[in-house]
Chains A and B, each alone.
Chain A
Amino acid sequence: MSVLELRDVVVRFGSGAHATTAVDHVDLVVDDRSVVGLVGESGSGKSTLARAVVGLAPLRSGEVLLDGQVIRSAGKRQDRAVRDRGALIQMVFQDPYSSLDPRMTVGDSIAEGIAAGRRLRDARRTVGGLLDLVRLNPDHEHLLPRQLSGGQRQRVALARALAADPEVLIADEITSALDVSVQGAVLNLLRDIKDETGVSVLFISHNLAVVRYLADHIAVMAGGSVVEFGDAVQVTEQPRNPYTRTLIAAVPTLLR
């Protein structure tokens, strides 16, 4: 049973005249075993929102709750047990070129995730099994990130996050650097993993076609606020906000 809830979250950078509000009073609920898709153009605040949820960006106000328990709130530092619970929310980053330690082998990176999973909830995954899960050759265990192509790196990052056996997975544009063919496999995989483990997913993408495939609900973000939220089918078939319609028109499809 894992529900991620954001209440009135505000993230602001800088101060005074130079302050920019990246996330502006956002409320959002990711229900247990569900996928919420978050779409919007770059700069709309999607990544900042994700980073705020996992504690990498400070909240100016509002709070983040996991199963009704406040795990993050503005200003207050939570005690250790609560912070450890925060590790049940894992994130896969957008840029596979900077999200892997260049000096650490693939296997060692994933092992850090496995160690986290073991500490938190006695999860036992293996490096080989995880590599297989993300469709990488098991021999890649001993390679360094710079010996992998961009797509291969992102799969390692995904394996590392899954290794911790999280309750909530935040996937921030994880497929934008992947091959379209692999993208399909990763999305299918994410759906399977969700069905198997019941992990809730906050799936961030700018591609509405991708979000539509995976998400039960879709939140459309623009200028730091959620401008439309609803059932995935409804948002994609009867969008109410004109901005949502722009996003639909921008989906890259083959020109016929």
Chain B
Amino acid sequence: MRRSTSGRAAVLRTPLGISTLVLLVAVVGVAVVAPLVLGSRAETIDVAAMDQGMSAQHLFGTDPLGRDLLARTLVATRLSVVLAVITTVVAAVVGVLAGALPFVLGRRLGRLLVATINLSVAFPSLLLALFLAMIFGVGAQGAVLTLALAMAPGFARLTHSTAAAVAGSDYIAAARLLRVGRARIVLRHILPNIAEPLVVNATTTVGTALLSLSGLSYLGFGVQAPDYDWGRLLSDGLGSIYTTPAAGLLPCAAIVVAGLTFILAGEVATQVVSGRSRRRGTARRVVTAPVAPVAEDTGPAGDVVLRVEDLTVTFPDRGTRPVRGVSFEVRAGEVVGVVGESGSGKSLTAAAVGALVPHPGVVEATRLDLAGRDVRRLGRAERDRVLGTSLATVFQDPMSALNPAVRVGLQLAEVSRVHQGLSRRAAAARAVDRLAAVDIPSPERRAREYPGTFSGGMRQRAMIGMSLMAEPSLIIADEPTTALDVTVQQGVLALLRDVVRQRNAALLFISHDIAVVSRIASRVLVMYAGQIIEELPVSALVDDAAHPYTRALVASIPDMGMDRRLPLATIDGRPPEPDRLPVGCSFAPRCPLADVGCAEQAPPLVAIGENRRVACWKPPSDVGGPRSTAGEGGRG
């Protein structure tokens, strides 16, 4: 499971988290312990000590029957909290059932139910509660049912609206095609995916229920003597508020503290749940290797925009290292392509550069310079600033990068307002300008629309437009055209090419499709099982590739001239799993040239000419011109 407990703990370590936890433990602890320890003290009638003020024996005084007020307040915790929890559980069960039922019922009945839910949410719940109280009568049981039913519509509505979003997704469509029953769709697909907001809401509701139940008891509808909860104590105590103020103040304080505790707990739960997605953007960076005192003073260094040395990405929770010692450079105005199969580590490499490795991934490198700054050595704020202004990323899935609820223009403008401090108006104008720059027709109108109205190609253009808001020196495009059709794809490639040329930016272009890469890049890095196994100029791809894997990739591109009777060229087998890497060459199990030696020792990545490197024991001897001696030195 990628969602680790340490991730949750992070939220619990904030001041809010800590105080909530302490409060929660205290409230629950008192509810459990107080009746056991203080039970008799709270209930023993002592005629000698009636209506006493504060004293050493009775810290906050006694009630008209001589019972200790503090003890009674503490003992009442159990009943108060238990009733609030029961109310919430009943409300949640009824509400979730009602909210989920429309998905099980036919269309017409479902609509009727949704309308009823919406109506009862709109109906003032206090009125509803009083009305129900008349039906259920006074007493604890009546109060619980009353409140539960008054609160159920809220749950029902939340259930229905979150479930409706889930119900529209492709995986529900797929289940429907398999004729999975409606009830099963709700139970297996919808409820698990909406559980989080429901649990959060329920936690908050306990607090609200506590307040309302106390109110009902106070009014005399709720808990009846000889039982007592805080509301009951309050109404009993109010009569003697002038002689023993604690009789009123103690239960009041208890209600406020306990109510707040659950409301805060709901807040913390929200943060835990949403924090998980937010943390995606903040991976830990760990510097292990001694950092050489270089970087800034060496200047632009032949306008290298990105220099990565010995980069690894590790997931300690799963014990895997999907990126293993990757080194490369990208220069200004250059397009470097990264190709490799799914899972080869392309995206994680890019994510590591942008500090976007998902939690709990650990990024290590001996060098990670962006625009001449070693980003590992920058403070967090400074790092975010450098990344925010020098680096732009364009993803495969523009829909997940664009917020569907915010107008496109505003989302673009946001970048400039945050990173460049532009005014609202200047940022908006710039957004329209950039949308125009990426060839979006009628950019002013489009800027006011929501992403949902954009076609896939237009969304990707908008994303590229967004990447241009801050004049980045490096653009990382991770499969930017994979979701697009070939005609639109060509347009986006042309656009990226223009952007690089006009702004002298560098582009790291990631794709599994070597044909697409060859249309835009000048240099290609081929990745396999977390390593670069070949680096070569695009011109060498067709007939001068050195690594058997690269050659196989090239052969597998379908083109219009191939013989339809033959099967397509494929690469048999599959890449190794990151947790089960072979000892020797990671491609050996699939390599037609592999021999015993290959399986025993991994070939190092050696230079075989300018801008050419290969990691293979048996590259063809006529490849890449004269070999440099630097990396030579075969295996024994």
* Residues in chain A within 8 A of chain B (CB atoms): 40-43, 51, 54-56, 83-84, 86-87, 89-91, 93-95, 97-104, 108-109, 112-113, 115-116, 119, 135-137, 139, 144, 146-147, 149-152, 157, 160-161, 164, 176-185, 187-188, 191, 206-210, 212-213, 232-233, 236, 246-248, 250-256
Contact = CB atoms under 8 A, between A and B. Distances in A.
B342 A103 contact: no
Counting chain A CB atoms within 10 Å of each CB, which of B2, B177, B512, B567 scores highest? B177
B574 interface: yes
Contacts of A136: 574
Contact of B174 (A83, A91, A115, A191): A91
Nearest to A207: B486
A94 to B, nearest CB: 8
B486 A252 contact: yes
B163 interface: no
B188 to A, nearest CB: 7
A89 B564 CA distance: 26
A55 B193 CA distance: 24
Contacts of B542: 254, 256
A127 B557 CA distance: 30
Contact of A87 (B1, B177, B513): B177
Given A87-B177, A151-B512, A184 B188 contact: no
B342 A252 contact: no
Given A151-B512, A178-B342, A101 B171 contact: yes
Given A179-B512, A250-B489, A251-B486, A146 B2 contact: yes
22 contacts: A40-B485, A54-B177, A83-B179, A87-B177, A91-B177, A102-B171, A113-B178, A115-B178, A144-B1, A179-B512, A180-B558, A182-B570, A184-B558, A184-B570, A191-B567, A206-B486, A210-B558, A213-B564, A251-B559, A253-B560, A254-B541, A256-B542
Given A180-B553, A187-B568, A210-B558, A252 B513 contact: yes
Nearest to B573: A135
B173 interface: yes
B552 interface: yes
Contacts of B485: 40-42, 176, 206-207
A209 B518 contact: no
A232 B562 CA distance: 13
A103 B192 contact: yes
Contact of A212 (B192, B341, B484, B560): B560
Counting chain B CB atoms within 10 Å of each CB, which of A98, A177, A236 scores highest? A98
A252 B2 contact: no
A26 to B, nearest CB: 18
Given A90-B178, A135-B574, A255-B538, A42 B400 contact: no
Interface in B425-470: 455-457
Contacts of B486: 41, 206-208, 247, 250-252
Contact of A254 (B180, B518, B569, B570): B518
B236 interface: no
B130 interface: no
B177 A90 contact: yes
A209 B558 contact: yes
A236 B397 CA distance: 31
A104 B489 CA distance: 33
B interface, how many residues as a size bin?
35 or more
Given A161-B177, A213-B568, 15 more contacts: A56-B176, A95-B483, A112-B175, A119-B179, A146-B2, A164-B178, A176-B485, A180-B553, A180-B556, A188-B567, A206-B485, A232-B564, A250-B487, A252-B515, A252-B557
Contacts of B456: 42
Contacts of B516: 252
Interface in B246-283: none
Given A98-B171, A101-B193, A255 B483 contact: no
B178 A42 contact: no
Nearest to A46: B485
Counting chain B CB atoms within 10 Å of each CB, which of A40, A55, A102, A149 scores highest? A149
B555 to A, nearest CB: 9
Contacts of B538: 255
B558 A42 contact: no
7 shortest interchain CB distances as A-B pairs: A151-B342, A206-B485, A184-B568, A99-B170, A116-B178, A250-B486, A103-B192
Nearest to A206: B485
B577 interface: yes
Counting chain B CB atoms within 10 Å of each CB, which of A144, A184, A236 scores highest? A184
Interface in B541-593: 541-542, 552-554, 556-560, 562, 564, 567-571, 574, 577
A179 B178 contact: no
A54 B514 CA distance: 34
A46 to B, nearest CB: 9
Nearest to A40: B485
Counting chain A CB atoms within 10 Å of each CB, which of B456, B519, B558, B567 scores highest? B558
B440 to A, nearest CB: 14
Nearest to B173: A56
B602 interface: no
A256 B554 CA distance: 12
B240 interface: no
Contact of B515 (A55, A146, A180, A247): A180
B177 A212 contact: no
Nearest to A97: B397
A101 to B, nearest CB: 4
B629 interface: no
B366 interface: no
Nearest to B572: A185
B288 interface: no
A208 B489 CA distance: 14
Nearest to A136: B574
A22 to B, nearest CB: 12
Nearest to B178: A116
B342 to A, nearest CB: 3
Interface in B396-441: 396-397, 400
Nearest to B168: A98
A253 B342 contact: no
B189 interface: yes
B586 to A, nearest CB: 15
A83 B177 CA distance: 10
Counting chain B CB atoms within 10 Å of each CB, which of A83, A100, A252 scores highest? A252
Nearest to A155: B342
Interface in B366-416: 396-397, 400
Given A160-B174, A176-B483, A209 B554 contact: no
Contacts of A252: 486, 489, 513, 515-516, 519, 557
A248 to B, nearest CB: 7
A149 B396 CA distance: 12
B245 interface: no
